[in-house]
Amino acid sequence: MTASLSIVRDAPANAAIEVAGLSHIYAGSNSAVPALADIAMTVGAGRFVVIVGPSGCGKTSLLMMMAGLRHQTSGTIHIQGRPIDAPDPDRVGVVFQEASLFPWLSALDNIEFPLALRGAPRHERAARANDMLNLVGLQGFGARYPHELSGGMKQRVSIARGLVQDPPVLLMDEPFAALDEQTRMTMGHELLRIWSQTAKTVVFVTHSLTEAVYLADEVLVMSARPGRIIDRIAIPLPRPRTYEMMGTEVFGRLRDRIWQQIRKEG
């Protein structure tokens, strides 16, 4: 990890994600609703950036645009130096709020799914998927079907699936929102372990301020609709993060600063 915590506005050479002048307007049946306004952000390679904001501020839309799953009205998104206008699993893996696993496939087959789409040879798929299963701590659960897994285990499978093609960027849309508090804490910690082992660039959307401060190198705060980035907060807590840090004064001050920003928007 680069220790630099300052925010580099002009795209550095090692930027994984560059968003410039991005706006989005929903064309309703009789009115146009501005959803995102003039978003600019740069995420350096290997950084962990968390986006928070009030409900409906368009943070999920922004993430879907970075994934190439939705098109913005104007502005550009570059991932790994090239524009993205369609899903590209070689550059971007996505983890959704509901694990979105295929219920008719076993955990292992779910993880293999992206490789199967590309027609990768069976033995290669199995080997790679097994590696991922071990990475997310689910060895021995490969033959289980999604309905046989707990919520946290499903998200582990989903993360493994997002990483199986080894994309440099992982986008996560409130992946732990549906989990209970304890599972959520464990999963956050696990995600940091996986992140430190794989050196991915992560953009993580969440409602939880504690989760945001605990996970992030940098937190971007978005305004209510139309969503703009109103604050960028570097999180100077050392890595690896520990649960004890949550009780520290620094942690509390950072969380409070984000809360003040969001409350103004509420």
Q: Binding of other proteins at residue 100 (CB under 8 A)?
A: yes
**In 30-73, which ranges are continuous DSSP H helix?**
59-66
d(CA 176, CA 189): 12
96 makes contact with other proteins (CB under 8 A)? yes
Q: How far is the CB of 80 from other proteins (least distance, A)?
A: 16
The residue among 60, 43, 64, 42 whose CA lies nearest residue 52 is 60
Report the distance separating Cα 218 and Cα 7, nearest Å: 8
Q: Which residues in 129-148 contact other proteins (CB under 8 A)?
A: 137-138, 141, 145-148
Residue 253 interacts with other proteins (CB under 8 A): yes or no? no
| CA atoms of 48 and 68, how far apart (whole Å) | 20
Size of the site for other proteins (CB under 8 A): 39
Enumerate residues 6+ apart whose C-beta is below 8 A from 147: 103
Q: Do 45 and 15 form a contact (C-beta atoms < 8 A)?
A: yes
Footprint (CB under 8 A) of other proteins, residues 181-240: 182-183, 186-187
Stretch binding other proteins (CB under 8 A), from 6-14, 42-50, 63-71, 201-209: 63-71
CB atoms within 10 A of CB 148: 12
Helices (H), 199-266: 209-215, 249-265
- Is 60 a binding residue for other proteins by CB under 8 A? The answer is no
CB of 140 to other proteins, least distance (A): 9
**Pairing, β 201-205 against β 218-222:** unpaired
The residue among 214 and 251 lying less far from other proteins, judged by its C-beta, is 214
What residues are paired with 172 via a beta bridge?
A: 95, 204
Name which position in 38, 98, 231, 265 contacts other proteins (CB under 8 A): 98
Sole binder of other proteins in the list 1, 117, 127, 199 (CB under 8 A) = 117
Query: What minimum distance in Å lies between the beta carbon of 185 and other proteins?
Result: 10
Cβ distance to other proteins smaller for residue 18 or 173: 173
> Applying CB under 8 A, which residues contact other proteins?
67-69, 87-89, 92-94, 96, 98, 100, 102-104, 113-114, 116-118, 137-138, 141, 145-148, 150-153, 156, 161, 165, 180, 182-183, 186-187
